[in-house]
Chains A and B, each alone.
Chain A
Amino acid sequence: MVAWLSDWLRDIIAIILLAVFVELLLPNRAMQRYARLVVGLFILLTILSPILKLIQSDIGAKLDESMAKWSRSALEGDMQMTGLNQIKQDAEAMSAKRSLEAAKLTERTLEASILSELSERTDAPIAGVDATLKWVNAAGQLAPLLSQVTVTLKASEESNSIALEGATVEKVQPVIVDVQVQPIVPRDGLSIEAPNKEKRNQEEQLGGSWSPVDPAVTAELSSLIAKGWGLAEKQITIRQPAIQPR
């Protein structure tokens, strides 16, 4: 009982000391009245605390809760200020999306221009051009760079006859052009494999769908692309779908 009483008295004395300090610290008279009200409420709470404890279980927790609620609502008022980060994130996401769209557009335009240029300057039968952009970090910003150009030639009778030169001529079969996307065989690899045509033919008959391209046509096309768009030769792939006998 005495311990509880001394606790209570100590609380009251401490809060009154606090109140005196606060009154000293306050800058002017006008504010003092308002601060005095709040501090007076605190003193009231402290003095009443035994009664409050008798009636209600935990007044401190309740006060904490309502204070937290209040400061949360105050924080929500500040949300417009902290929303800047959100805005920045949104802006980043949007600009990333936009640059992706721009890259796609650039790819399409590049493909079209390469195609028209090639078909104008050469008479190679070109079926399609596929340009791939790579993102490089230039001066702190990501910039698209043309990294890979794949030119697909039409499967022509001529090249077919070159490809099948070593094989015995058979009755003409109905031919189909395989237009499915296949793994790209780089030009270097083709030129290495070109000498052993029989092996190549076997491969084709087993299901390989790219026939070797005429080296002259390849050189012409790649030098044109390399000159016009500033690419290294190894970034250019020329391929031609093989005509597969059924």
Chain B
Amino acid sequence: MEMIQIVGLGLMATVLILVVREQKPMFAFLLAAFTGLFIFLYLIGKIEMVISVLEDLANRSGIPSIYLKTVLKIIGIAYIAEFGAQIVRDAGQESIASKIEFAGKIFILVMAVPIISVIVETVIGLLPDGS
């Protein structure tokens, strides 16, 4: 039933936005942003279940907790960047939206820096100490 609620909310918001947009584009944007925010926050709670499954999986196997932490951070960054970019894109600012996405990508790559450094160090350690 929740799916129907969300779809209903989305349809309602869309119709309202279409009506309002002719008169006040500003309010149409606000309505769109609010609807998006509401659905996003509503679904955050549901994502928690999936994350708990992931944590359980990581705990049962011997995966270091740092892996899971990093992965969850990546997911969070991706979602937040995507959400913000979509709202900005709705307002017609495509370039700013792409900058937000770019920032998200950069942050995800920054996450990879410690791993890469460890791998590089190890590989250098593997090499024989030839002069």
Contact = CB atoms under 8 A, between A and B. Distances in A.
Interface of A: 7, 10-11, 13-15, 17-18, 21-22, 25-28, 30-31, 34-35, 37-39, 41-42, 44-46, 48, 51-52, 55-56, 59-60, 62-64, 66-67, 69-70
Interface stretch (B6-14, B20-28, B103-111): B103-111
A40 B41 CA distance: 30
B63 to A, nearest CB: 5
A227 to B, nearest CB: 64
Closest 10 CB pairs between A and B?
A14-B61, A27-B82, A31-B78, A66-B114, A34-B108, A38-B112, A41-B115, A70-B114, A67-B114, A35-B74
Nearest to B47: A25
13 contacts: A17-B57, A18-B63, A18-B68, A22-B74, A22-B75, A25-B50, A35-B75, A38-B108, A41-B116, A42-B70, A48-B122, A55-B126, A59-B122
B117 interface: yes
A66 B117 contact: yes
B19 interface: no
B113 interface: yes
B114 A31 contact: no
A39 B108 CA distance: 11
A39 B71 contact: yes
B54 interface: yes
Contacts of B108: 31, 34-35, 38
A44 B116 CA distance: 11
Contacts of B118: 45, 59, 62-63, 66
A67 B61 CA distance: 21
Nearest to B105: A34
A63 B101 contact: no
Interface residues of B, number: 43
**Prevailing SS type, chain A contact patch:** helix
Nearest to B116: A41
A70 B113 contact: yes
A64 B66 CA distance: 7
Given A10-B61, A56-B122, A66-B118, A15 B74 contact: no
Given A13-B61, A59-B122, A64-B66, A30 B105 contact: yes
A11 B53 CA distance: 16
Nearest to A35: B74
B81 interface: yes
Nearest to B111: A38
B115 A11 contact: no
B37 interface: no
A37 B70 CA distance: 12
B61 to A, nearest CB: 3
User: Looking at B71, B79, B83, which has the most chain A CB atoms within 10 Å of its CB?
Assistant: B71
B64 interface: yes
Contacts of A48: 122
A14 B59 CA distance: 10
B39 interface: no
A107 to B, nearest CB: 57
Nearest to B50: A25
B115 to A, nearest CB: 5
